[in-house]
Chain A
Amino acid sequence: MSVVNEWAFVGVFMAIAWVLPAAPLLISWLVRPRKANAIKMETYECGVETVGDTWVQFKVQYYIYGLVFLVFDVELIFLFPWALAYSQLDFFAFGAGLLFIFLLTDALIYAWRKNALEWA
């Protein structure tokens, strides 16, 4: 099978896989009762009326985790071809991978020492 044929399966899968979870939603939409009123539709916050805007400003810590994750993600993507070809590679390739990972670890140690990994 050619590459595109293989992916045709994934394409068909993506095109129809969402129908199965959507079907119960549709059935539910057809049969369920509708007795909405303003109080019922209020945001649930332990019985107290909600105060202010929900979409408040978040703290920067989430962003830092996202950033550290992004850097690691990109690094890992580079490591996968390296791992794939590893059986045909020599010690030089191991050294290249070692240096690559070592530089990555540097960044982790820096983040650690700067307390960027603390949830505070």
Chain B
Amino acid sequence: MQSTCVDVIETLAPCLATGGMDPGLAQFISILIGVVLVTLFPLVLVILLIWLERKIAARVQDRIGPNRVGPFGLFQNLADAVKLIIKEDITPAGADRLIYNVAPITAVLSTTLIWAVVPFSPIHIGVDLSIGVLYFVAIGSFGTLSVIMAGWSSNNKYALLGSFRAVAALVSYEVPTVLALLIPVLLTGSMGMEAIVRAQIGMWFIVPALVSAIIFYVANLAETGRAPFDLIEAESEIVAGYNIEYSGMKFGLFMANEFMHAFTANLLFAVIFLGGWSGPLAEQIPFLGFIWLMVKTFLLYIPSLILRATIPRVRIDQMMSFNWKFLVPISIVNVLVTAFLLQVVKALGWMPAPDNYDFLAHVPEALVLLIGNLLLIAGVLTMLRNAGRREREATEASEGEAGREADHAIVVAH
């Protein structure tokens, strides 16, 4: 059995049943083992992720990072975990104890449950739900809930303010995320994760759905609270945000969840836009598919770490305006453009058959959609440039030379 072998539903249950076990019990045991594997994997992975983040952030800032405990400091986080476990736990006076303690567990659940529908390889998937895409969006709302629970139950003004701000931002960025997810569903004709990956064997969706891929990536940065949208814990404004009163392992769970969530978001991006497990020889050697998926995910994840260590934080009003006045309108136009072009492609007869995995067969459709996407990007950039020029001219007219100086400063700062 491979390390993340979660196809046990298909193989282990019949295997146990032939051994004389009750089929129902056999199936239950196989489900149980699958669940434990799928749950354990992200929790073990998170130790590596935290090490990776600290190492990369250190390198960006010209430091070495953890390097004392174990080779390359790999065991640093195990040591930290032990420290967090034996640390005294402080529940603030006046906290709502039940909600206060349930919140970190809900937070971790909101991420691990997503892993149930991720196809790791051609044969390894927890469960291929017919509504997979909506499933993980729905599970994500538990994360929002955990933020509100943590912030409200702590009996701390910073925590409450931080959590409300975070929730307003999280729900806002859910709109472009879901709108971006609509495009792969349009292209596939299915919401199942397995079907979405199979539809990409010929052509990855990042080509015909470039705009929605970009929107999904940016909105995910915000949903997972990564820079430049890490307002969930803006130290300078609200101390640490919703988890300010948490200490010890409860804080550890929130932190672990943050890393897990960021990784999961990139994993979903790889599954939905970069073809998931599809790659050379993936069909023949299923484990290779898993490796392709991990390679793609880390190729996405590491830039987001560098981004985090590089970019300053935006203001909350900028963050909200960016969502509602930029991402959402573009996402809506993107859905319309893609839907229209798909009808055109169908009318021209360039639509490949659903079971056609040939690259060339997908080229005409992808090309039409890509051109549409590029035109959309060009249009948006032109509008932005014109808006910027108008603003600059307005500033120059009102402030003259001083305005130009200020503009120059802004350009430099950016």
Contact = CB atoms under 8 A, between A and B. Distances in A.
Contacts of B155: 43, 54
Contacts of A94: 339-340, 343
A105 B329 CA distance: 8
Given A32-B85, A65-B171, A101-B336, A25 B249 contact: yes
B45 to A, nearest CB: 13
Main secondary structure of the interface of A (DSSP, over half): helix
Contacts, number: 206
Interface in B24-81: 28, 31-32, 34-36, 38-40, 43, 81
Given A42-B92, A65-B172, A76-B179, A117 B108 contact: no
B297 interface: no
Contacts of A62: 164, 167-168
Interface string B78-121: 00010011111111111000000100110011001100100000
A43 B245 contact: yes
B160 interface: yes
Contacts of A54: 94, 155-157, 160
Contacts of A1: 9
Given A18-B109, A27-B85, A56-B157, A104 B245 contact: no
Contacts of A3: 130
A73 B293 CA distance: 30
Interface size class of A (residues with CB under 8 A): 35 or more
Contacts of A117: 320-321, 324-325
Contacts of A105: 329, 332
Contact of B178 (A7, A58, A76, A119): A76
B175 A41 contact: no
B156 A10 contact: no
A73 B324 contact: no
B405 to A, nearest CB: 28
Interface string A6-39: 1111101110111011101101110111111010
Interface residues of B, number: 85
B372 interface: no
Contact of A69 (B87, B175, B179): B175
Interface string A59-87: 00110011011001100100110011111
B335 interface: yes
A28 B249 contact: yes
B340 A76 contact: no
Given A28-B249, A41-B91, A54-B157, A73 B175 contact: yes
B182 interface: yes
B185 interface: yes
Interface string B163-180: 010011001101100110
B93 A41 contact: yes
Interface stretch (B186-194, B284-292, B381-389): B186-194
Nearest to A109: B329
B164 A9 contact: no
B403 to A, nearest CB: 24
Nearest to A70: B171
B245 A44 contact: yes
B320 A9 contact: no
A29 B335 CA distance: 50
Contacts of B339: 86, 94, 97-98
